[in-house]
Chain A
Amino acid sequence: VLLLILSVVAIAHAELCKPDAQNAFKVRLSIKTALGDNAYAWDANEEYLFKAMVAFAMRRYSSKSTTQISNVLLCNVTDRVSFWFVVTDSSKNMTTVPGSEVEAAIRMNRNRINSAFLLSDKTLQFLKITSTLLPPVEPSTPVWLIVFGVVLCLIVAGIVFLVVAGIQQRKKKNKESTESENLEERGEVTVTVENGIPCETLDLKAGHINGVFAADDERFTSL
């Protein structure tokens, strides 16, 4: 009789857990991709840990301590490593917990399950359950605006500096050119000519200065 009951249970389990069964989920692990040389082999112990984690997730989610490890059924384990699992309801006979509940429970405890197997969201995949991805950390002011602001200030400062320097230079040049023009005019006037010879050259040629005429400066009309 015991054998009969056991075989009935086994058949019942096979009914509940099969690929594409209602409320069943497919799981895929990529242990070698994640861990490389430190990869562990997938055996019955790992399967037991998985059942335990799923039971833990269900307990935490619904906070009733009725889910047992024996409620979690695994089937169709392949070499990939991938398999299907369902969670049966111990209170009602031969029924499975609705998929939405299982999904919510797994989602809530995803990181605990991942770290139990040393895997990540990408290497431990629940095929119908999408994982929430971490958004990238964004600072309050975008970085590029800060750099842009710095460069802009430098360039504007450079332009202002050059423009102001140019204006100052031009003012100086204008002043200088008017001064030099005035000097030129005076220079022409003061070159007085005596008998076709400019006075300056006369002085230079060490001519004798006639005191009678030279003393009388008022003879030269000032202009």
Chain B
Amino acid sequence: AMEKSRPLWDNPLQFVFACISYAVGLGNVWRFPYLCQMYGGGGFLIPYFIMLIAEGMPLLYLELAVGQRMRQGSIGAWKIISPYLCGVGVASVVVSFFLSMYYNVINAWAFWYLFHSFQDPLPWATCPLNSNHTGYEEECEKTSSTQYFWYRQTLNISPSLEVSGSVQWEQALCLMLAWLVVYLCILRGTESTGKVVYVTASLPYCVLIIYLIRGLTLHGAVNGLVYMFTPKLEQLSNPKTWISAATQIFFSLGLGFGSLIAFASYNDPSNNCERHAIIVSLINSATSIFASIVTFSIYGFKATFNYESCINKVILLLMNAFDLEEGSLTADNLNEMKDYLMATHPQEYAQLLPQLKNCAVQGTGLAFIVYSEAIKNMEVPQLYSVLYFFMLLMLGIGSMLGNTAAILTPLTDSRVIAARFPKEVISGVVCFINCVIGLIFTMEAGNYWFDIFNDYAATLSLLLIVLVETIAVCYIYGLRR
């Protein structure tokens, strides 16, 4: 019988798009801007680019070359180099399995927010009323409506990890839907994946451009941009800066999971993967910077809006307490008036003091809280909300396709399993198992489990895997080959 030919990408563009769609994920939109402003603003770009050229591009080229040359998934490819190394491949598959277990929950959350964006007003814009309709829910009053929506109505989070609570059926439904979507995309292998990545790679850029235009025209956006890009060059002497740059490049490109090997194995052997490696890594970094401009203009808008509403609350409080005429207290004379009031009515002022917050700019938040809070204050919030969560969904699904490819390619390559079951069944079984395990994250304590997985599932193991990969290719296989 003739040997079945390996399915290929229809054209090299599909391969590049698949890699971009996998590499550009939530980390570019959220984590990079956060690191940028923590470690020196514009100055962070220096270690970032140095690390990109020193570790990002070579490692990416290495993985793509291994996959393309061996034309096998991660287990098979490493086996070819040396039979002792198939453990590296297995480790990659296991890490990818862990990642796919918890990563799709983010897509489930994105679906949840997306479906809730079709309402007027947006459900996270206002607090719900309490039982006798005389005021707002107490929990919601203490924090904010967006935080309440995230922690109570989306996650229904329990007080601690030990209190597991029950499975939230709404979240379970969204998770199931997310896995069905992933199954639909990988069902036919590269045939279907190849067409899907056109959409998942390009749509986020469209949304980012729309948000860039909208973001830059928002009130207070410039504050955010200035805050982010002012270089604080003294951070360059902090070793944490360099380590963060290295890890960011590493995880952003998705090295060590086996997904890149899997994608490259469907390539034509004569493909110029060196050029593609450079293109993909440059596009990934450019997207990070582009997304951080958008994120920080949104962030600046939100911070300015919150600051101004905080000032207004303080003004109202003082006016009511001292029965001053409306309009006598403004943002400009607030500080002088505060001193005056403190001098003339010291007792009442002292009583008020705990409520007079300093209105400092508050810190970080998850991608869901900060953006949803900014969106609710824009005009036509439903449109921006739908766009944003659809973009998150595209980014998430793109990364999931890479993860599942990393798991499925070795499985379909191994003749033991592939001969008995068609690939639709194998994909279905993998998706089903992941979905069932993923139900843990839909429980009330699910977010704590999510944090555990997020912090520990991939970090150290990946570094080890890539280290062994590098040693293997350089010394065991021989750099010249």
Which chain A residues have a beta carbon within 8 Å of chain B's beta carbons? 28, 30-33, 78-82, 130-133, 135-136, 143-145, 147-148, 151-152, 155-156, 158-159, 162-163, 166, 170
Contacts and interface: CB of A to CB of B under 8 A. Distances in A.
Nearest to B130: A133
B115 interface: yes
Contacts of B114: 147
B177 A155 contact: yes
Contacts of B112: 144
Contact of A155 (B136, B180, B323): B180
B134 A131 contact: yes
A30 B326 contact: yes
B188 to A, nearest CB: 6
B319 interface: yes
B121 to A, nearest CB: 8
A156 B324 contact: no
Contacts of B128: 136
Given A80-B324, A159-B180, A132 B115 contact: no
A79 B319 CA distance: 10
A152 B180 contact: yes
A133 B132 CA distance: 9
B181 interface: yes
Interface string B120-146: 010000101100011110000000000
B116 interface: yes
B134 A79 contact: no
Given A131-B134, A144-B116, 17 more contacts: A79-B325, A80-B319, A82-B320, A130-B134, A130-B135, A132-B134, A133-B135, A136-B121, A144-B118, A144-B119, A148-B111, A148-B174, A152-B177, A152-B180, A155-B181, A159-B187, A170-B422
B3 to A, nearest CB: 13
Nearest to B173: A148
B424 A163 contact: yes
A132 B126 CA distance: 16
Nearest to B174: A148
For this complex, into which size category does the number of interface residues on chain B fall? 20 to 34
Nearest to A78: B323
A79 B135 contact: no
Interface in B183-218: 183-184, 187-188, 192
B119 A31 contact: no
Contact of A159 (B135, B184, B323, B324): B184
B188 A162 contact: yes
Contacts of B354: none
B313 to A, nearest CB: 13
B133 A132 contact: yes
Nearest to B322: A80
A152 B323 CA distance: 57
Contacts of B115: 143-145, 147-148, 151
B188 A159 contact: no
A80 B183 contact: no
A28 B320 CA distance: 8
B478 interface: no
Contacts of B239: none
B324 A79 contact: yes
B324 A143 contact: no
A79 B327 CA distance: 11
Nearest to B132: A132
A58 to B, nearest CB: 22
Interface string B78-122: 000000000000000000000000000000000110111011010
Contact of B177 (A33, A148, A162): A148
B345 to A, nearest CB: 14
Contacts of A145: 115
Nearest to A166: B424
A143 B114 CA distance: 11
Contacts of B183: 159
Contacts of A135: 129, 133
Contacts of B323: 78-80, 82
Contact of B325 (A80, A131, A147): A80
Query: Of residues B115, B173, B325, B424, which shows the largest number of chain A Cβ atoms within 10 Å of its Cβ?
Result: B115
Interface string B153-195: 0000000000000000000011001001101100110001000
A58 B76 CA distance: 88
A33 B326 contact: yes
Give the 9 A-B CB pairs with smallest separation, nearest first: A144-B115, A79-B325, A78-B323, A80-B323, A32-B326, A130-B134, A147-B115, A155-B180, A132-B133
21 contacts: A79-B324, A80-B324, A131-B134, A133-B134, A133-B136, A135-B133, A143-B115, A143-B116, A143-B118, A144-B115, A145-B115, A147-B115, A148-B111, A148-B174, A155-B181, A156-B180, A159-B187, A162-B187, A162-B188, A163-B187, A163-B424
Contacts of B111: 148, 151
A31 B135 contact: no
